[in-house]
């Protein structure tokens, strides 16, 4: 069964304190891995898609990386506006019409 | 473009009542989907559609019906509401017929409470 787990469940950082969020996945052939950001009371907002192991993508203070079993979202020198829930999701080769989401990591960046 | 719109934003139902959550998009996307989000469980796929006239079940379809008569609209029907359906519901659309190959655009959500 396709499955996505994320850790930690919650993370509290001081402004400027870099860290990483983890997304571990089990799928029968990965077609794509996605990262979304969700602010309280709003719908998720797309950040990145990664397709193959070794791929990296960056956007401002965020960098996403992918291995055969997990993905990391690295946050460099975070600011309070980076506070949000970060969701990881996967799409399997065998069920490419469905996207399976993980439970998310709630990030708080303290000034 | 308005993107993905959902109505209503909030709804309270009594057990056994029926209702329809509305979802519309103006981006001419073929793929549309419905998710529910519960604390600690992430987003779970209810139903999806790869084009007008085509729908299929996701992870948690029981108690919900969908139809797709136009590219723009994808309503979600609760036939007989149950307290277990209390949740936040999100509609999303994507320009790719494979759904997740491209990014999904999410609506603002409908917060549903069933008493």
The 3-state DSSP class for residue B65 equals strand
Which tokens go with A5? 């787990």
Tokens of B41: 């469980």
What would the pLDDT profile of B31-81 be if each residue is shown by its tens digit? 999 999 998 788 999 999 989 999 999 999 999 999 999 999 999 999 999
Hey, is A23 helix, strand or coil? strand
Whether residues B48 and A97 touch (CB distance < 8 A) is answered with: yes
Structure confidence at residue B97 as a pLDDT band (50, 70, 90): low
Among residues B101, B104, B89, B82, the alpha carbon closest in space to that of B8 is found at B89
> Taking CB atoms and an 8 Å cutoff, what residues of chain B touch A44?
43, 90, 104, 106
Strand partners, B93: B32, B105
pLDDT > 90 in chain B, percent: 84
Nearest residue of chain A to residue B58 (CA atoms): A98
Distances (CA, A) of B97 to A60, A78, B45: 29, 35, 16
Q: Are B32 and B23 in contact (CB under 8 A)?
A: yes
């Amino acid at each position: 069964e396709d499955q996505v787990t994320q850790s930690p469940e919650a993370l509290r950082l001081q402004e400027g304190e870099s860290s990483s969020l983890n997304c571990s996945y089990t799928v029968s052939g990965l077609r794509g891995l996605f990262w979304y950001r969700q602010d309280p009371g709003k719908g998720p907002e797309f950040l990145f898609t990664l397709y193959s192991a070794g791929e990296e993508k960056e956007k401002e203070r965020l960098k996403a990386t992918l291995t055969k079993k997990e993905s990391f979202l690295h946050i460099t020198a975070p600011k309070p506006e980076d506070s949000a829930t970060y969701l990881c999701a996967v799409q399997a080769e065998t069920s490419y019409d469905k996207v399976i989401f993980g439970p998310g990591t709630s990030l708080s960046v303290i000034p | 473009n308005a993107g993905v719109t959902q109505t209503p934003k909030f709804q309270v139902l009594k057990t056994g009542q029926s209702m329809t959550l509305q979802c519309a998009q103006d981006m001419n996307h073929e793929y549309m989907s419905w998710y529910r989000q519960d604390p600690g469980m992430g987003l779970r796929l209810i139903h999806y559609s790869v084009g007008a006239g085509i729908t299929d079940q996701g992870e948690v379809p029981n108690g919900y019906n969908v139809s797709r008569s136009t590219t723009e609209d994808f309503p979600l029907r609760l036939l007989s509401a149950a307290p277990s359906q209390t949740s936040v519901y999100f509609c999303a659309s994507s320009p790719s017929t494979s759904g997740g190959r491209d990014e999904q655009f999410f609506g603002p959500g409908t917060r549903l409470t069933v008493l």
